[in-house]
A and B are shown apart, each in its own frame.
Chain A
Amino acid sequence: MTWPKIMAGALAPLALAAAAAFGGISEVKAFSVYVSNEKDNTISVIDSESLKVVKTLKVGQRPRGILLTQDGSQLLVCASDDDTVQVIDVKTWEFVKELPSGPDPELFILHPSGNPLYIANEDDNLVTVVDIENNKVLAEVPVGVEPEGMGISPDGRVLVNTSETTNMAHFIDTETFEIVGNVLVDSRPRFAEFTADGSQVWVTSEIGGTVSVIDPIAREIIKKIGFEIPGVRPEAIQPVGVRITKDGGRAFVALGPANRVAVVDAKTFEVEKYLLVGQRVWQLAFAPDESLLFTTNGVSNDVSVIDVARLKVVKSIAVGRFPWGLTVSKD
């Protein structure tokens, strides 16, 4: 082997790595990220290839929770101050209809089959169950004070709602619409997320500063995860959004005004790393292939993009004012 060949051989992987570092995002199939801007009353649409806002859509007042329907054709937005859920066609960008959400809808979740929709009504201490095809309220489940977090088991049989003031995770049977159990967690629980295998549900406590990992069968807390960041006041560590990889290996926890996303080993529950993002990070969403994770940073008005494999924040994209929730299209 001649010297130039050796050099070429040594440099080729480096060049490839550099190309991957710069252009890695383009390998992923293009998709869109929809971000609800609470203060601007708009939805920002981010294109995954350019990582730029390609469209801004005016919606109802104080948009917060945001979801795509199962087939990806319609966008559902909680217009909290208009007391409604708006349905938008993502091809034509036209409003299709409004769903009877009950007052002040904040966050919602779809049944794994795609219907019905479970909505947390923050002011009325209710979870409203809505058939999105027939526009019908199927049930109203009374829960604790200030309901917000919504998680549903992968088999669709158990719905978990968290109430911010009662400090409980309520386990609701999706067939009988009855609360079958409650688990007391640390103060101000705001988000619930099941693991893909349904064996755990993770509930964040914003004021408590912890994440409770709950066994949904026994309805007991298996582990409480705490956070500590050098140079950041403990009061600023306010966990809100959680996303767990499909393989159950890693969890990402948005830590609010700590401006960090915690990377947690979902097997050992140890915090591996803290990633610096924009100010007051609340909600998270994975790209379809989980290569990227997007965060809404409410105070700095942007969305940070995390490279999941490298655990690096690669970019922050300016969106509207007070970005709150976000969802990602499948393609």
Chain B
Amino acid sequence: MSEAVTIQDPRPLGPVAYLLCLRGIMWREALRFLHQRERFVAALVRPLVWLFVFAAGFRAVLGVSIIPPYETYVLYEVYITPGLVAMVQLFNGMQSSLSMVYDREMGSMRTLLVSPFPRGFLLISKLLAGVAVSLLQVYVFLAVTWFWDVQPPLIGYFAVLPALILSGMMLGALGMLLSSGIKQLENFAGIMNFVIFPMFFASSALYPLWRMNEASPLLYNICVLNPFTYAVELIRFSLHGQINWLALAVVAGCTAVFLGAAILAYNPSKGLIARRGGPGG
């Protein structure tokens, strides 16, 4: 009996152990990111292309109506910046979570998943690591946009931090949930087509919702149901030092649901992984 106890629980895991584990996961994610310089460049170039090329062509489109949180007319560049910030997080969340597929293939994930830490803690650590990387990408992007005359109030740069953490968690958790159902990394193209693009385009990232409603009520309803819309609005309001409570509630709720589902899916005894037996046997 006592022997069994020592095998199962050699010593209780203290907070230090948890922190050590978190640090390890974050450090791994950071190293992976830093070693993939193209990924950083890509993460930055993608929204900048939107800003410099797409937004420049649409400069005159907006500026006919003032919608909160703006107190005056804004240029299109100013309008789409929060959407592009969310896009950075969307790509990063998907990439980071889908790297789980790679990790599973390579075996390093399996090592991690059999560690004595609770599965939920491991997944949250992994999510936080991904969010930390996205924060770096977002702040570099915001720094560049500042020179493009997208200059939110100074306080916005601080206020947006918690919003970014939450929206990053939501998008990462969604990616994690999806990754549990994906066998191979090649499926990222599918994720692009079926998750990233629809989420990005059918949201308030590129056009305000009233515009969508004028164009097509159906599209408007899709946008309203899209959690990504709320991530964008949460970021938009916080970047102007305000809180959009509805967006906050939706993003927090979706984070909880996606995370819960992901933890369930990664549960070896119940989740999707168990059912399929995992990749490569």
> Taking beta carbons and an 8 Å cutoff, which residues of A are in contact with B?
14, 17-18, 21-22, 230-232, 259, 276-279, 300, 304-305, 312-316
Which residues from chain B contact A17 at a C-beta distance below 8 Å?
154
* Inter-chain contact A316/B71, CB cutoff 8 Å: yes
* Inter-chain contact B154/A21, CB cutoff 8 Å: yes
B64 located at the interface, meaning its Cβ lies under 8 Å from any Cβ of chain A in the complex: yes
* Inter-chain contact A231/B241, CB cutoff 8 Å: no
> Taking beta carbons and an 8 Å cutoff, which residues of B are in contact with A?
56-57, 59-60, 63-64, 66, 71-75, 151, 153-155, 241
Given contacts A259-B63, A276-B63, A279-B64, contact A315 B154 (CB under 8 A): no
* Inter-chain contact A22/B73, CB cutoff 8 Å: no
- Report the separation of the CA atoms of residues A316 and B72 in the bound assembly, to the nearest whole angstrom: 5
**Contact partner, B73, options A21, A230, A231, A277, Cβ 8 Å:** A277
* Inter-chain contact B73/A304, CB cutoff 8 Å: yes
Which residues from chain A contact B241 at a C-beta distance below 8 Å?
22
* Inter-chain contact B72/A313, CB cutoff 8 Å: yes
- Report the separation of the CA atoms of residues A278 and B64 in the bound assembly, to the nearest whole angstrom: 8
Which residues from chain A contact B153 at a C-beta distance below 8 Å?
18, 21-22
- Report the separation of the CA atoms of residues A14 and B72 in the bound assembly, to the nearest whole angstrom: 24
Given contacts A230-B59, A316-B66, contact A278 B154 (CB under 8 A): no
- Report the separation of the CA atoms of residues A278 and B151 in the bound assembly, to the nearest whole angstrom: 19
* Inter-chain contact B71/A231, CB cutoff 8 Å: no
* Inter-chain contact A314/B63, CB cutoff 8 Å: no
- Shortest Cβ distance from residue B146 to the other chain A in the assembled complex, whole angstroms: 13
26 contacts between A and B (CB under 8 A): A17-B154, A18-B154, A18-B155, A21-B155, A22-B153, A22-B155, A22-B241, A230-B59, A231-B57, A231-B59, A259-B73, A276-B63, A276-B73, A276-B74, A276-B75, A279-B64, A300-B64, A305-B72, A312-B151, A313-B72, A314-B71, A314-B72, A315-B71, A316-B66, A316-B71, A316-B73
- Shortest Cβ distance from residue B224 to the other chain A in the assembled complex, whole angstroms: 27
Which residues from chain B contact A305 at a C-beta distance below 8 Å?
72
- Report the separation of the CA atoms of residues A279 and B63 in the bound assembly, to the nearest whole angstrom: 9
Beta-carbon nearest neighbor of B71 in chain A: A315
Which residues from chain A contact B59 at a C-beta distance below 8 Å?
230-231
- Report the separation of the CA atoms of residues A312 and B64 in the bound assembly, to the nearest whole angstrom: 18
Closest A-B pairs by Cβ, 3 of them:
A231-B59, A18-B155, A316-B72
* Inter-chain contact A232/B154, CB cutoff 8 Å: no
- Report the separation of the CA atoms of residues A232 and B63 in the bound assembly, to the nearest whole angstrom: 12
- Shortest Cβ distance from residue A49 to the other chain B in the assembled complex, whole angstroms: 15
Given contacts A278-B73, A316-B72, contact A231 B60 (CB under 8 A): yes
Which residues from chain A contact B63 at a C-beta distance below 8 Å?
259, 276
Beta-carbon nearest neighbor of A277 in chain B: B73
B56, B64, B72, B241 — which one has the most chain A CB atoms within 10 A of its CB?
B72
Which residues from chain B contact A14 at a C-beta distance below 8 Å?
154
A231, A300, A313, A315 — which one has the most chain B CB atoms within 10 A of its CB?
A231
Which residues from chain A contact B151 at a C-beta distance below 8 Å?
312
* Inter-chain contact A277/B155, CB cutoff 8 Å: no
Which residues from chain B contact A22 at a C-beta distance below 8 Å?
153, 155, 241
- Shortest Cβ distance from residue B16 to the other chain A in the assembled complex, whole angstroms: 22
Which residues from chain A contact B64 at a C-beta distance below 8 Å?
279, 300
- Report the separation of the CA atoms of residues A75 and B185 in the bound assembly, to the nearest whole angstrom: 73
- Report the separation of the CA atoms of residues A305 and B71 in the bound assembly, to the nearest whole angstrom: 10
- Report the separation of the CA atoms of residues A313 and B63 in the bound assembly, to the nearest whole angstrom: 13
Which residues from chain A contact B56 at a C-beta distance below 8 Å?
230-231
- Report the separation of the CA atoms of residues A271 and B151 in the bound assembly, to the nearest whole angstrom: 20
Which residues from chain B contact A316 at a C-beta distance below 8 Å?
66, 71-73
Beta-carbon nearest neighbor of A236 in chain B: B60
- Report the separation of the CA atoms of residues A304 and B66 in the bound assembly, to the nearest whole angstrom: 12
